[in-house]
A and B are shown apart, each in its own frame.
Chain A
């Protein structure tokens, strides 16, 4: 057999197939979305009124249920009035792909409704800052603590039981408390992201630190390494590459706390934009904003992965996601 079978168990496919499948993984959902949006007989539960006819409350452009439309049409047929005209449409909360694609640009070019409100790029920048500070502060304490707990049993026994308990407390539950303590601006939001990330972070980092091959520590000891040189010259360099990978995953988790965090106190950032646009029923903008979060997330991750390959030249295999 010269090439890998498509369904070979745990065998890597050739490079071209992998690339192709990667593209497909994005194209498939897009295709389903397009199918539902552009093929009129797939789903389309509403009727968009083109000509109201003699139905008193129909207006052009209005969306009504197909059932209602049929009922009114049937009633008019009996009385002999002018029939309403309409075409099948999807609910307003499912815009078509092209509308969302357009919103990607118009959302940035449309000025805010009121002068004191931020533009979209300003909202996004605020969100990124909240994430950054939440994650940065969490890492500042969580990473060293995790490394200590993974290296010394005394720290592990002292910290981990409490952290293990605390990580089950949902971060949003601290919202009201955070506002009471830290005010209504960015500080409580950063605190929520901190709480959501920190406790997982300590446990993940300590677990990774514990994965270090103990034989390396033994080898180092027979070479004369003691206490602190064991920590700084063996443990940390030995696990740093895996810690970097953990941090990438944890950063992804931090993003998932963003929306909740931004709803706390005065709504802000991209969440403010999303709720605002949903209120005006600009669902194309809502989808565009949600996707922007995804795009920012995956772009940072890909950049960090690439950076990781540069910093850690000794790694055995290409960075795993």
Chain B
């Protein structure tokens, strides 16, 4: 097989390069500085995160990716204020993050819609907590439900919706309170491939039109490249920043770009970072201690 000649993922087309220069001039929304997190386990203290540095600019889309155990979920939970950290600091608009709050919206993998509330009331939840009156909250909620295309379902209960619809409600609910930043913890991980692709397109569409900065956790390389301006690659044990990749694929993104040289080059780089010694075909066979269990004279003696 001939090796496909790919450019380096560091080679950015001029338009992309120019865009990153401008992006980095935008105000910083989230700044994470020397962040560390230790756990106490029965086996002694473990370091989940160590010396994490990064920052996101206004209306940037940042993906966080890494092997399992790299602490990417812990990181986003710290950003949301749902978990404490041991050292360093997290600044949102220059203010230290202290506990959860509606300035940081969050979308979880498990939907977490309130099953006892209708779609509309779910979206109204945050607005009412923010002290909006019932009618005002209802009006805003309606707008957001329209925006995610679920106006026909505003009086449905979550269990009547499909996974993709639930996640759209969750996104609308998180955005309705107009947070500064949207944190998404593998939000599409439980969806089937088609729904997931549609949701990615929805999300990009929303992101384009709204003043929102997104931090998005995923373990899907394609998803990360397709969505992100920049990708924060973590490594495991302890969780540390391995590289902050500027995705060289031009914006706006389309599905056709999945096969563009920039896309493939970035993917190749991510592969080497995340699966450095990937199992090759030969050693998988060895690991499994495979023996032939089909007789040689069988009518289908070989699958080839």
List the B side residues contacting A241 at CB < 8 Å.
Answer: 116
Question: What CA separation (Å) do A225 and B125 show in the bound complex?
Answer: 9
- Whether, in the assembled complex, B66 has its beta carbon less than 8 Å from a beta carbon of chain A, the answer is no
Chain A residues 100-145 with CB under 8 Å of chain B are none
Contact residue among A218, A222, A224 (Cβ-Cβ distance under 8 Å from B130): A224
- Whether, in the assembled complex, B114 has its beta carbon less than 8 Å from a beta carbon of chain A, the answer is yes
B129 touches A222 (CB 8 A): no
- Whether, in the assembled complex, A183 has its beta carbon less than 8 Å from a beta carbon of chain B, the answer is no
How far does the Cβ of B204 sit from chain A's closest Cβ, in whole Å? 22
List the A side residues contacting B115 at CB < 8 Å.
Answer: 238, 314, 316
Question: What CA separation (Å) do A223 and B117 show in the bound complex?
Answer: 15
List the B side residues contacting A224 at CB < 8 Å.
Answer: 101-102, 126, 129-130, 177
Most chain A CB atoms below 10 A, which of B112, B157, B177: B112
Chain A residues 79-116 with CB under 8 Å of chain B are none
Stretch from B103-111, B230-238, B254-262 forming part of the interface with A = B103-111
- Whether, in the assembled complex, B174 has its beta carbon less than 8 Å from a beta carbon of chain A, the answer is yes
List the A residue with the shortest CB-CB distance to B109. A215
From known contacts A222-B100, A224-B129, infer whether A238 and B116 are also in contact, taking CB-CB under 8 Å: yes
Question: What CA separation (Å) do A224 and B176 show in the bound complex?
Answer: 12
Chain B residues 72-125 with CB under 8 Å of chain A are 80-82, 99-102, 104-106, 108, 110, 112, 114-117, 125
How far does the Cβ of B95 sit from chain A's closest Cβ, in whole Å? 16
B114 touches A215 (CB 8 A): no
- Whether, in the assembled complex, A221 has its beta carbon less than 8 Å from a beta carbon of chain B, the answer is yes
B125 touches A215 (CB 8 A): no
List the B side residues contacting A220 at CB < 8 Å.
Answer: 114, 125
- Whether, in the assembled complex, B159 has its beta carbon less than 8 Å from a beta carbon of chain A, the answer is yes
Number of interface residues of B (CB under 8 A): 28
How far does the Cβ of A206 sit from chain B's closest Cβ, in whole Å? 20
From known contacts A223-B177, A237-B114, A238-B116, infer whether A314 and B157 are also in contact, taking CB-CB under 8 Å: yes
Question: What CA separation (Å) do A218 and B174 show in the bound complex?
Answer: 12
- Whether, in the assembled complex, A233 has its beta carbon less than 8 Å from a beta carbon of chain B, the answer is yes
- Whether, in the assembled complex, B173 has its beta carbon less than 8 Å from a beta carbon of chain A, the answer is yes
How far does the Cβ of A287 sit from chain B's closest Cβ, in whole Å? 44
A222 touches B116 (CB 8 A): no
What class of interface size applies to chain A in its complex with B? 20 to 34
List the A side residues contacting B117 at CB < 8 Å.
Answer: 237, 314
List the B side residues contacting A225 at CB < 8 Å.
Answer: 125, 129
List the B side residues contacting A22 at CB < 8 Å.
Answer: none
List the A side residues contacting B106 at CB < 8 Å.
Answer: 218-219, 222
Chain A residues 198-242 with CB under 8 Å of chain B are 213, 215-216, 218-226, 229, 233-234, 237-238, 240-241
Interface SS of chain A: helix
List the B residue with the shortest CB-CB distance to A241. B116
List the B residue with the shortest CB-CB distance to A215. B112
- Whether, in the assembled complex, A312 has its beta carbon less than 8 Å from a beta carbon of chain B, the answer is yes
- Whether, in the assembled complex, A29 has its beta carbon less than 8 Å from a beta carbon of chain B, the answer is no
Question: What CA separation (Å) do A226 and B125 show in the bound complex?
Answer: 12
A313 touches B125 (CB 8 A): no
From known contacts A312-B116, A314-B115, infer whether A222 and B110 are also in contact, taking CB-CB under 8 Å: no
B82 touches A222 (CB 8 A): yes
A233 touches B100 (CB 8 A): no
List the B side residues contacting A313 at CB < 8 Å.
Answer: 157
How far does the Cβ of A233 sit from chain B's closest Cβ, in whole Å? 7
How far does the Cβ of B262 sit from chain A's closest Cβ, in whole Å? 35
Question: What CA separation (Å) do A226 and B183 show in the bound complex?
Answer: 19
B116 touches A237 (CB 8 A): yes
Q: Give 1 or 0 for each of B128-141: 1 = CB within 8 Å of chain A CB.
A: 01100000000000
Contact residue among B99, B129, B158 (Cβ-Cβ distance under 8 Å from A223): B129
List the A residue with the shortest CB-CB distance to B131. A224
List the A side residues contacting B99 at CB < 8 Å.
Answer: 221
B114 touches A221 (CB 8 A): no
B108 touches A215 (CB 8 A): yes
Interface residues of B (CB under 8 A from A): 80-82, 99-102, 104-106, 108, 110, 112, 114-117, 125-126, 129-130, 157-159, 173-174, 177, 183
Would you mind naming 11 contact pairs between A and B with Cβ atoms under 8 Å apart? A218-B80, A221-B100, A222-B174, A223-B102, A223-B125, A223-B177, A224-B101, A224-B177, A237-B114, A238-B114, A312-B116
Interface residues of A (CB under 8 A from B): 213, 215-216, 218-226, 229, 233-234, 237-238, 240-241, 312-314, 316
Query: What 14 additional pairs, Cβ within 8 angstroms, besides A213-B112, A233-B129?
Result: A216-B114, A219-B106, A220-B125, A221-B99, A222-B82, A222-B101, A222-B174, A225-B129, A237-B116, A238-B116, A314-B157, A314-B158, A316-B115, A316-B159
